[in-house]
Copies of this chain bind each other. A is one copy, B any other.
Amino acid sequence: MVAVDCVIFGFDPTGIKLLVFQRKVQPFFGHWSLIGSFVQPKEDVRTAAIRIVEESTGLTDVYLEELGCYGQVDRDPGARVVSIVHYALLRIDEYKLSPVEDYQARWFDFEDLPDLIFDHQKMVKDAMNKLRKKSRYRPIGFELLPAQFTIPQLKKLYDAIYQKELDRRNFRKKILSMKILNKLNIKDRSSSKKGAYLYEFNKENYEQLLQEGIDFKL
């Protein structure tokens, strides 16, 4: 049997979040777990992952990547299930509430997760490591922010991913030098009196950078 489980990341000003679910079937009814599902006979594996994210969050256009195969014989005590784990990055502010509520879902601080069933804890740990590595050379961090964001917000996200405080000035300099941000002439005053300019991600310039062989080390 082949299943897909999804590690779903979010971010808000207090830090990185994980969306976990209360299991609705035996065994371990009511325990916290990642969201998952069996792959249907006529369904591609990746399609299954997309479906699962949509069913559980209402979102269709999120960053979604394969993490790996979890295929220990005894990982699921009930039956032989091989799980193809994916991780998703989404903007917390965009996700639709109702499907999440149906699923008995909850956002947890990444630093303060409950116990998860089976090998889900390891999946989460591996996903976070992959996110750390990947964000060093791909600007996937943007996927976790609202479409419009300030540079201090972006820095806070990277502080959280790397678990250390980056230098304000160097961070700004580097990210701007890549020219993958469009500055808007609007200020966000929610976190300071002076206000910080809002930016948007410039996808075209980013694609071009990829061609030329970027290295995006923040």
With CB as the reference atom, state the residue of chain B lying closest to A137: B133
Task: Answer yes or no: A78 CB below 8 A from chain B CBs.
Answer: no
Which of A68, A71, A72, A82 has the most chain B CB atoms inside 10 A of its CB?
A: A71
Chain B contacts for A66, CB-based, 8 A: 68-69
Q: Are A84 and B72 in contact (CB under 8 A)?
A: no
Q: Decide yes or no: A82 and B41 within 8 Å by CB, A2-B71, A69-B66 being known contacts.
A: no
Rounded to whole angstroms, the CA-CA distance of A82 and B68 in the bound complex is 13
Contact size class for A? 10 to 19
Minimum Cβ distance to chain B for residue A136 (Å): 9
A13-21, A43-51, A143-151, A194-202: which lies at the interface: A43-51
A53-101: which have CB < 8 Å to B? 66, 68-69, 71-73, 80, 82, 84
CB distance from A128 to the nearest CB of B (A): 16
Tell me if A42 counts as interface (CB < 8 A to partner B).
yes
Contact across chains for A82 and B2 when beta carbons are under 8 A apart: yes
Q: Give min CB distance, A13 to chain B, whole Å.
A: 28
Are A69 and B45 in contact (CB-based, < 8 A)? yes
Is A131 part of the binding interface, using a Cβ–Cβ cutoff of 8 Å? no
CB distance from A81 to the nearest CB of B (A): 10
B73 with A46: CB separation less than 8 A: no
List the B side residues contacting A39 at CB < 8 Å: 71, 82
Q: Given A39-B71, A45-B72, A69-B84, 6 other A-B contacts at CB below 8 A? A: A2-B71, A44-B73, A46-B71, A71-B84, A82-B82, A82-B84
